[in-house]
Structure 1
Amino acid sequence: MASSSSSSSSLKFTVRRCQPQLVPPAILTPHEVKPLSDIDDQDGLRVHLPMIHIYKKQASMAEKDPVQVIRQALSQTLVFYYPFAGRLREGPNRKLMVDCTGEGVMFIEADADVTFDQLGDSLQPPFPCFHELLYDVPATQQITNTPLLLVQVTRLKCGGFIFAIAFNHTMCDGPGYEQFMSAWAEMARGATKPSIAPVWRRELLMARDPPRITCKHREFEQIQDMLPSSNQNMVQRSFFFGPLDIAALRRLIPQHQHCTTFDLITACLWRCRTKALQIEADEDVRMMCIVNARGRFNPPLPVGYYGNAFAYPAAVTTAGKLCRNPFGYAVELINKVKGEMTEEYLQSVADLMVIKGRCLFTTVRSYIVSHLARFNLRQVDFGWGDAVYGGVAQAGVGSFLGVSYFCSAKNGKGEEGIIFPICLPAEAMERFAEEFNHMLGNKSQPQCLPCNNKYFMK
C-alpha cells in the first residue's frame, strides 16, 4: 500500500492507497470493434476529464464499505456499458475505435486520515489536493491503449468518502456521463440492470459521404496568436451564483429582452474575463457555448445514447464592443449563438472533422462554458444519499485552461446556486474578481487557490 501526504495553506492529510487494479465486467461481454462517431473523436475531446463526488457518513450504511459496494457495482455496470472496459485504437486518418477487449477499468482503493469536517472550504473546485484523491497512474494519461476510466474511492476517517474519476471524453459527454453514473449508482443500490438501457449507435453522428461543410464554424477558425501562451503563474478560483446574483444580472438588461439564466451567467463571465485579461479593443474574442443536440434532431437521438452529441458554436465580437456596449449586447450574442445549433449544424461539424483532420477548436482569445448544473450530479446516490458536491474537479480541458463548467452547489448559507471554477493569470484573477463583484454588487470574495494540480496540468 502506497502512502503520500498532501497539504494546502489550511489543510494537511495523508492518503494511503492500495495498488491500482483492473475491474473487468462481471461476466463475459462481446469482443468486437466499435468505431466512435466523428463528433466523438475530434482533437478537443481527446482528454481525460476529472470529476469528483463527495459523500457524508450515513448511519444506515455503517456496516457497508463504500469501496466494496462501488467496485462490485462497477463490475456489474460494465456488463451493460462494456465498451468502457475496452481500449481505444487509432486507425487511418486518425479515426478512433473501441476495441471491446473486456480488460476493465482502473480502480484504486484508498484511505485518508482526515474527516469531512476537516476538509472545510476544500469542498469546491479547485481541489488543492486532487492528485491525492485521484492518483496519476503511470501511462493512463494517453488516449489509446489505456483504460478509459480511472477511479479512486477514498474513505474518510469519519465514515464519509470521496469518489474521484477521470473519464475519456471521446466516450461520452455530460448527459452520457450522468447516464453512466446513474446506472452505476442504481447497481450499487441493488438494481440488476440500468433503468435506461445504454445505446451505442455512433453511426448516427458520422460524416456524410462525401463530407460537406454547410455551416459557418467560427469555433474552428485558425488564428495566429502574436503572443506566446503560457500556463505559468496561473491560479484557479471558484465563484458562486445564487438567486440574488441572477436577479442582479437580470436588472442590467431591458425587461423585454428574452434570455435564460445560462445566457446571463455566460455573458457576465465573458465580459469580466475579457476585461480582466486586458485584451486590445480591436481584437476578436470568442465565447463558445456547449449546446446539447439530442433534442434538436428529427427524430431525436435515441434515449440512452451516451456518446458526445454537442457542438460549441462561437459568439464572436471585438473586446471593445463586448466591454463598452450595454450588458444586454453580450446576452443577446449568447442567446443568438445557441440558436445556431441544429441537426444540420452538428452534421456539418462531423463533416468538418473528416475534411480538416479532426482539428482542435480555436484557442486564441477563446473561452468555453459548459452547463453541467442541469444534470445535478450531486444526485448520484450509491446508497449514501446525495453528494455534498458532484461535478468537475477543476477548470479547463486537457492543456486548454479556458473552460468553465457550471455545477449545482450550495453556498455557506445553504442557498442553492451554480458554482464555476475559472483559471487565469494571478494578476488577471484579481481584476476578474473585482469586475465580477462589481457587476453583482458583492463585497465578499472567495478564496484563491493555486492551479498546481500535477494530474490535471500535464
Structure 2
Amino acid sequence: MLTPAEYELPDCHLLESPSLIVPISPTPNHTLRLSNLDDQKFLRFSIKYLYLYQQSVPAETLKHHLSRVLVDYYPLAGRLREDPGYERKLMVDCNGKGAVFAEAFMDATVGEFLESSDRPNKSWRKLLYRVDSDSFLGVPPLVVQVTNLRCGGMILCTAICHCLCDGIGTSQFLRAWAHSTTTTTEIPVLPSPSHPRHVFQSRSPPHPTSPTPAYTRTNPNHHPRLPAFLQSHHPLVPVSATFTAPDLLLLKKRCCPSSSLKFTSFEALAAHTWLSWVRSLSPPPHLKVKLLFSINVRGRIPSSPPDAGFYGNAFVLACAQAAARDLTDSIGLGDAARLVQRAKDAVDEEYVRSVVDLLEDESAGTDMGASLVITQWARLGLEEVDFGRGRPLHMGPLSSDIYCVFLPVAGDARAVRVLVSVPAFCAGKFKSYMSDYSIITGDGDGNGNVIDDG
C-alpha cells in the first residue's frame, strides 16, 4: 500500500493553451530596479502556493479579477531582466505583458487529495503549468494554474517571483485578488501596493557596521544547495508535524519550567525544530550549525519605514548558532529558544542597514553551508484567501525542500504545521524527536547558559 507521500496524482489535462492575463486598464510603463534585499541570489525562484477548495470558481471570473488586480500590482505583469549598468543585478520591465494563466482538469476529488495532502510529492508538480525557459529570467513573475476536480472542487496553484514579493507581499496580493472577486465595492480592505524600493538602498559608500552572521562573502560562482553533511546518496523525503495551540503552550512551558523568561510560540517551535533536525542528522561534533529565520523588518527601521502597502522583500535573516556537539549533548530547549530570541533581538535598524550594505558586494550572500532555514507562512493570512466559495481546505507549498516552512492549518488559526525535507535515513528519527518533546528538553534552564553560541 502506498503511503500518502508516494501517492501519484492522476494525469492533469490542460483544457486549452495557457493565456496571458494583462492589466484591464493602462499601467505605468517604466523600469523598476530591485533592492539588494530583493536581488539576493537565494531568492531567484518562484514561491509556489497550492490551495484546495471545496467548490470551484469559474476560470473566466478568476481571469477577469486577476486583470483588475494587476492594475495595482502591475510589476507582476512585467518581465525580469538584468540591469545593464550593474552586472548580475536584476530589474523589472513594467511592460504589462501579463501573467500566465492555465486551466486544467484532473479526475480526482477533494477528499482524495486531502488524504495525501500531509506531505507534497513529485506528482503535485503537474498542478502548475511549467513555462519552458532556459533561465529564471525567462519565466513571467506570475504563473497561475486552476485545476478543476471531478467532484466540483478546485486546486489553485500560483508561482510568484520571490524577487518581487516576500511572504507578506504575496499574501497581500492574493488577498487583494480574492477580495476583488467577492465584492463590487471600490473601498480597499488592504493598503494600496507601494512599488518603490528606495528605502532599502545601500548607503554611499556602503559601510556595514553590525555583525550579520547569516551572511558571508563567498565565491560568487559557488552556490551550494545542501549543507556539506547532507550531501550524500540518501534521497530527501518530506516530514510533516502539526502543533496545536495546546502543543505550542506545552513547548513554551518546557522552555522555561523554572524561569521567569517568556518565549513566543515561534521561538519555542523554532528551537524545538532546530534541535530535532540537528540531533536526527548527527553532524560532525565540532561543526558550527546555524538556524536562519526570516524577520519582517517593516517595523524595525524607524528612521525611514516602508509604506504601509510595501509588498517587496522586507525581511532579513536572523541567525542563531552553536556547535553541533552542544546542540546534541548539552543545550536544552530553553537554551535553544534563548539563542533564537537573542538572534531576533539583534535585528535592529543598524543590522538591516548593514545587511543591505553587505549585499552591495556581489560576493556576499546567505551562508547555507550548515544551516537550517525556517520561513514563516503561518501568520500571514495565506489561509484566508477566499474567492467567494469558501476558505481553502488546504494551503501549503507545491513542493518540499530543505527550507523548513511553518504553515497555517486550515480550520485552526492557532495551529502550525512544520514541513521540511530531510535525508531518508533520518526521517523517522526526526519525526520522533518532533513528536516527543521530552527528548529535546535536556538540562537547559532557559537562561541562555550555553557552551558556544557563536
Same fold (TM over 0.5): yes
Structure 1 residues 227 and 315, CA gap change in structure 2 (3 angstroms): closer
CA distance in 2, matches of 1:329, 1:90: 44
DSSP-derived class of the 2:10 partner: strand
Identify which of 71, 78, 88 aligns with 1:86: 78
1:86 deviates by: 0.6
Structure 1 residues 29 and 427, CA gap change in structure 2 (3 angstroms): same
1:23-55 residue CA offsets vs partner (Å, 9 max, x unmatched): 111122121111011110011111112111111
Aligned to 1:14: 11
Q: How does 1:199-278 map to 2 (within 5 A)?
A: 199-221=194-216, 229-230=231-232, 233-254=235-256, 255-278=259-282
CA contact (8 A) 1:242 1:415 kept: no
1:410 deviates by: 4.7
CA distance in 2, matches of 1:65, 1:307: 28
CA distance in 2, matches of 1:119, 1:384: 18
CA distance in 1, matches of 2:29, 2:36: 22
CA distance in 2, matches of 1:428, 1:8: 16
DSSP-derived class of the 1:129 partner: helix
DSSP-derived class of the 2:11 partner: strand
List gaps (5 residues or longer) in structure 1.
1-6, 58-63, 443-458
Identify which of 368, 375, 380 aligns with 2:380: 375
Aligned to 1:61: none
1:262-302 residue CA offsets vs partner (Å, 9 max, x unmatched): 01100001001001111122210000111000111215321
Identify which of 97, 117, 137 aligns with 1:103: 97
Q: How does 1:46-445 map to 2 (within 5 A)?
A: 46-57=44-55, 65-91=57-83, 92-139=86-133, 142-191=135-184, 193=186, 194-195=188-189, 196-221=191-216, 229-230=231-232, 233-254=235-256, 255-298=259-302, 299-323=304-328, 324-357=330-363, 359-396=364-401, 401=402, 403-410=403-410, 416-439=414-437
Deviates more, 1:314-323 or 1:257-266: 314-323
TM-score by length of 1: 0.86
1:321 deviates by: 1.5
Identify which of 34, 37, 42 aligns with 1:36: 34
CA contact (8 A) 1:66 1:155 kept: no
CA distance in 1, matches of 2:286, 2:77: 49
1:372 deviates by: 1.3
CA contact (8 A) 1:15 1:112 kept: yes
CA distance in 1, matches of 2:233, 2:100: 29
Task: State the one-letter code of the partner of 1:404.
Answer: C
Task: State the one-letter code of the partner of 1:171.
Answer: L
1:250 deviates by: 2.4
1:48-106 residue CA offsets vs partner (Å, 9 max, x unmatched): 1211111112xxxxxx8432211111111111111111111112232211111110011
1:162-195 residue CA offsets vs partner (Å, 9 max, x unmatched): 1101111000101101111111111111346543
1:305 deviates by: 0.3
CA distance in 2, matches of 1:389, 1:208: 43
Deviates more, 1:275-284 or 1:9-18: 9-18
Structure 1 residues 47 and 186, CA gap change in structure 2 (3 angstroms): same
DSSP-derived class of the 1:296 partner: coil
Q: Which runs of 4+ in 1 moved over 6 A?
A: 223-226
CA contact (8 A) 1:126 1:238 kept: no
CA distance in 2, matches of 1:167, 1:12: 23
Structure 1 residues 65 and 287, CA gap change in structure 2 (3 angstroms): closer
Deviates more, 1:95-104 or 1:187-196: 187-196
1:9 deviates by: 4.3
Structure 1 residues 213 and 136, CA gap change in structure 2 (3 angstroms): same
Structure 1 residues 392 and 354, CA gap change in structure 2 (3 angstroms): same
DSSP-derived class of the 2:327 partner: helix
1:440 deviates by: 6.0
CA distance in 1, matches of 2:244, 2:296: 24
DSSP-derived class of the 2:359 partner: helix
Deviates more, 1:365-374 or 1:231-240: 231-240
TM-score by length of 2: 0.87
Structure 1 residues 34 and 191, CA gap change in structure 2 (3 angstroms): farther
1:345 deviates by: 1.4
CA distance in 2, matches of 1:158, 1:29: 39
CA contact (8 A) 1:394 1:421 kept: no
1:145-170 residue CA offsets vs partner (Å, 9 max, x unmatched): 43101110111111210110111100
DSSP-derived class of the 2:20 partner: strand
Aligned to 1:453: none
Equivalent pairs: percent with the same residue? 30
Task: State the one-letter code of the partner of 1:389.
Answer: H
Task: State the one-letter code of the partner of 1:156.
Answer: L
Task: State the one-letter code of the partner of 1:98.
Answer: V
CA distance in 2, matches of 1:120, 1:182: 23
Structure 1 residues 136 and 318, CA gap change in structure 2 (3 angstroms): same
DSSP-derived class of the 1:187 partner: helix
CA RMSD of aligned residues (A): 2.3
List gaps (5 residues or longer) in structure 2.
219-223, 441-454
